[in-house]
Structure 1
Amino acid sequence: RPRVYFIFHKPKGVTTTVKDNFAPKKVVDFFSKKEVKVFPVGRLDKDSSGLLILTNDGNLCYRLTHPKFQIEKEYLLWVKGNITKDILDKLKEGIKDRGDFLRVNSAVVVKRDKCRSKLRVVVCEGKKRHLRRLLGRLGFPVLTLKRVRVGNLKLGKLKPGKFKKISAELIYKLTLGNWSKRTSKDN
Structure 2
Amino acid sequence: MYPIAYSLFFMEQRIQKILAQMGIASRRKAEELIIDGRVTVNGKRAIVGMKADPERDHIKLDGKLLTRVEPKIYLMFNKPAGVVTSLSDPEGRPTIKDFLKGVKYRVFPVGRLDYDSEGLLLITNDGDFAYSILHPSKKMPKTYVVKVKGIIGDDAIMKLRRGVKLKDGMTAPAKVRRIRASESNSWIEVTIYEGRKRQVRRMLEEVGYPVIKLRRIAIGSLKMGDLKPGEIKHLTNEEIKKLKELAP
Cα pair distance change 1:61/1:98, threshold 3 Å: same
2:134 to 56, 61, 65: 65
Partner deviation per Cα, 1:25-76 (whole Å, 9 max, x = no partner): 1112210176101101111000000000100000110000111111110000
CA RMSD of aligned residues (A): 1.7
Cα pair distance change 1:140/1:22, threshold 3 Å: same
- 1:3 aligns to 2:83 (yes or no): no
2:194 to 122, 125, 139: 125
1:105 Cα offset (Å): 2.2
In the comparison of the two structures, how many residue pairs are matched? 179
- For 2:144, the equivalent position in structure 1 comes to 75
TM-score (norm 2): 0.68
Unaligned segments of structure 1, at least 5 residues: 182-187
- For 2:214, the equivalent position in structure 1 comes to 145
**Residues 28 and 39 of structure 1 are in contact (CA less than 8 Å); yes or no, is this contact kept in structure 2?**
no
1:100 Cα offset (Å): 3.1
1:178 Cα offset (Å): 6.4
SS, match of residue 164 in structure 1: strand
**Residues 103 and 134 of structure 1 are in contact (CA less than 8 Å); yes or no, is this contact kept in structure 2?**
no
- For 2:244, the equivalent position in structure 1 comes to 176
Of 78-87 and 95-104, the range deviating more from structure 2: 95-104
Unaligned segments of structure 2, at least 5 residues: 1-69
- For 1:94, the equivalent position in structure 2 comes to 163
- For 2:233, the equivalent position in structure 1 comes to 164
1:112 Cα offset (Å): 0.7
What is the rounded CA distance, in whole Å, between the counterparts of 2:105 and 2:144 in structure 1? 29
Cα pair distance change 1:106/1:23, threshold 3 Å: farther
- For 1:45, the equivalent position in structure 2 comes to 114
1:173 Cα offset (Å): 2.3
Amino acid at match of 2:197: K
Percent sequence identity over matched residues?
A: 37
TM-score (norm 1): 0.89
**Residues 172 and 193 of structure 2 are in contact (CA less than 8 Å); yes or no, is this contact kept in structure 1?**
no
* Structure with higher RCO (Cα < 8 A, 6+ apart): 1
What is the rounded CA distance, in whole Å, between the counterparts of 1:40 and 1:140 in structure 2? 29
Partner deviation per Cα, 1:139-179 (whole Å, 9 max, x = no partner): 10000000000011010010000100124x33432323369
SS, match of residue 177 in structure 1: helix
